[in-house]
Structure 1
């Protein structure tokens, strides 16, 4: 097994995550992350009211030198909705992130592999042109987001995130 970067078997892991939802822009979506029996549960409800539509969580900043890895892999169980894994570095302006999209099948544990080339630089829902490619040795923070233009409840369960 490759090195685990995030492991919800650690009882303290869920306390390292903070919610950042569309209320920062006037929206009314809600979401957060909590631990349930060794699993991190990113759950809530998205709403398109007041130009909203997203919920996200970010892990406390921690340098992760993944320069030798070819990407990241997650062990997840989803609900059929589309999610993003977001990686934050010092390469982009504040608030911008490199994101990769994944859609885990509903109610089935699976391994989701995200190679570095799957990540694109984004800021407030728009691709950032002419920015450097993700330098995996400079990752400082990870996050999860749902912004699939659908309303209703969501639930993504994560056991771990590891090097690929």
Structure 2
């Protein structure tokens, strides 16, 4: 009898736990993904240029990275907000790219450039869409592009101010990155 009561109790507990709804940035025409903005190395005197536009029912992030004037990065940043990612375990991105360069998903707890950020590198040259799943516990902590540590405690993902993408590999040249969606679940 105690087994039945314990079983019913556990069943009720498991069914009362609600999973947090996924956080999805779904790009493309007619989709509401918020206001994203470009931040390039021009903020510190660099000459890199990039833009974002809708293309193929996705967001096309394109541009040219320049090393002139100590430049070397381009980025696309989401709207400022109060994101609690601590209950999520995975980040999923669907993308394609015309380059083998490594992009990064950038998660900012604080927006000043000199403070640590969370990041995950991704990218490969592919004409077909690729879906990549990244365990959030495997994120790197970096400061100004330099890895401080590998792996994080998910509780560090509370109070996130901004999510974005950056190409900061200090290589000159053009790039195109199509992003269909970015999902946290």
Q: Same fold judged by TM-score > 0.5?
A: yes
Q: Report the equivalent of 1:35.
A: 54
Higher fraction of helix: 2
- In structure 2, stretches of 5+ residues that fail to align are 1-20
Scaled by the length of structure 2, what TM-score is found?
Answer: 0.75
59, 79, 92: which one aligns with 1:60: 79
Scaled by the length of structure 1, what TM-score is found?
Answer: 0.84
Do the aligned residues in 1 keep the contact of 2:50 with 2:62 (CA within 8 Å)? yes
76, 97, 112: which one aligns with 1:94: 112
Query: Which protein has greater RCO, CA pairs closer than 8 Å, 6+ apart?
Result: 1
Structure 2 distance, partners of 1:128, 1:24, is 24
Q: Which has the larger radius of gyration?
A: 2
Task: Please give the per-residue CA displacement for 1:52-109, whole angstroms capped at 9, x wherever unaligned.
Answer: 111001011123333222120001011222100000125xx73332111112332221
- In structure 1, stretches of 5+ residues that fail to align are none
Structure 2 distance, partners of 1:133, 1:52, is 32
Deviates more, 1:45-54 or 1:134-143: 134-143
Q: List, as ranges, runs of 4+ consecutive aligned residues in structure 1 with deviation greater than 4 Å.
A: 12-15
Q: Report the equivalent of 1:81.
A: 101
20, 30, 33: which one aligns with 2:39: 20
RMSD across aligned positions (CA) = 2.3
